[in-house]
């Protein structure tokens, strides 16, 4: 944990009836103050909770580890995410949490299950805006403390090999376009990891054992992009 060193300078003077004021040497006192770690709230679905990867390989956990190495101290992340959640399901779960805390940093990665289930994109827009406003509220109403992460392309996974992967890619791009538009409208940073996720098409090391989700190696690439965009 980072220590903030505070130097206190004390000048001691003495007085005498028959002498002029005399100044004694300055005393320097050092006080060490421990810096309070920052707090992080991660909101999302399977990509945030890290379906089929170890806890240490979830991108929010990796992000905190990497920031701590950079001497940007964070507590372990609070994660509200579950595999399969759509935008409305994430919002319902957040409401159940009854969160009263404020966070120094909030990430939001949601939307793949809206696309997967064939939900309407305009419905997604309305619900995403609601989630984005909620994320900003949790970040002490500071848009600069929120990051929206784009939807990865699950169409590159072995699970999708017998599906129309071009259609999947186009739909994900359309959902991400909505996300980016509304994110920037709110003055929030949008981090595009979708092209990175598509590297898995030619490298199965980026795919988790379930052959659908992404491996810890891919999560680390996402973290690198978030750090480059937000913290460098």
Q: How confident is the model at residue 25 (pLDDT cuts 50, 70, 90)?
A: low
Q: What is the mean pLDDT of residues 86-94?
A: 98
Domain count, the chain: 2
201-221, pLDDT tens digit by residue? 999 999 999 999 999 999 999
- Domain extent at residue 19: 3-33
Say if residue 216 is in the same domain as residue 129: yes
pLDDT at res. 33? 57
Say if residue 86 is in the same domain as residue 180: yes
pLDDT of 39 strictly over 50: yes
Say if residue 110 is in the same domain as residue 15: no
pLDDT at res. 10? 40
pLDDT of 28 strictly over 60: no
Say if residue 145 is in the same domain as residue 52: yes
Q: How confident is the model at residue 35 (pLDDT cuts 50, 70, 90)?
A: confident
Say if residue 82 is in the same domain as residue 186: yes
Say if residue 103 is in the same domain as residue 124: yes
Say if residue 43 is in the same domain as residue 124: yes
Q: How confident is the model at residue 95 (pLDDT cuts 50, 70, 90)?
A: very high
For the ranges 4-18, 48-62, 140-154, which has the lowest average pLDDT? Answer: 4-18
CATH number for the domain spanning 81: value is: 3.40.50.1110
Q: How confident is the model at residue 21 (pLDDT cuts 50, 70, 90)?
A: low
pLDDT averaged over every residue in the chain: 91
Say if residue 21 is in the same domain as residue 136: no
Say if residue 62 is in the same domain as residue 88: yes
Say if residue 59 is in the same domain as residue 141: yes
Q: Is the pTM of this model over 0.85?
A: yes
Got the DSSP string for the chain? --EEEEEEEE--EE--SSS--EEPPPEEEEEEEEPPPB-EEEEESHHHHTTTS-GGGSHHHHHHHHHHHTT--BPPPEEEE-TT--HHHHHHHHHHHT-----SEEEEE--HHHHHTT--HHHHHHHHHHHHHHHHHHTTT-GGGEEEEPPP-GGGSGGGTTS-HHHHHHHHHHHHHHHHHHHHHTT-EEE--HHHHGGGGG-GGGB-TTSSSB-HHHHHHHHHHHIIIII-
């Amino acid at each position: 944990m980072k220590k903030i060193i505070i130097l206190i300078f004390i000048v001691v003077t003495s007085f005498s009836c028959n002498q002029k004021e005399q100044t004694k040497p300055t005393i320097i006192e050092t006080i060490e103050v421990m810096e309070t770690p920052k707090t992080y709230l991660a909101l999302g679905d399977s990509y945030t909770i890290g379906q089929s990867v170890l806890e240490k390989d979830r991108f929010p956990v990796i992000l905190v580890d990497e920031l701590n190495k950079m001497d940007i101290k964070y507590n372990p992340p609070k994660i509200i995410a579950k595999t399969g959640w759509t935008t409305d399901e994430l919002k319902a779960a957040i409401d159940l949490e009854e969160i009263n805390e404020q966070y120094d940093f909030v990430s939001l990665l949601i939307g793949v299950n809206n696309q997967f289930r064939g939900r309407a994109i305009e419905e997604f827009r309305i619900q995403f805006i609601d989630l984005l406003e909620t994320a900003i509220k949790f970040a002490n109403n500071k848009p600069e403390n929120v990051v929206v992460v784009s939807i990865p392309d699950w169409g590159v996974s072995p699970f999708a090999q017998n599906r129309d992967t071009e259609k999947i890619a186009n739909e994900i791009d359309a959902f991400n376009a909505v996300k980016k538009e509304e994110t920037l409208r709110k003055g929030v940073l949008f981090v595009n990891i979708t092209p990175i996720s598509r590297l898995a098409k030619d490298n199965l090391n980026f795919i988790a054992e379930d052959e659908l989700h992404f491996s810890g190696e891919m999560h680390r690439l996402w973290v690198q992009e978030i750090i480059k965009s937000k913290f460098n």
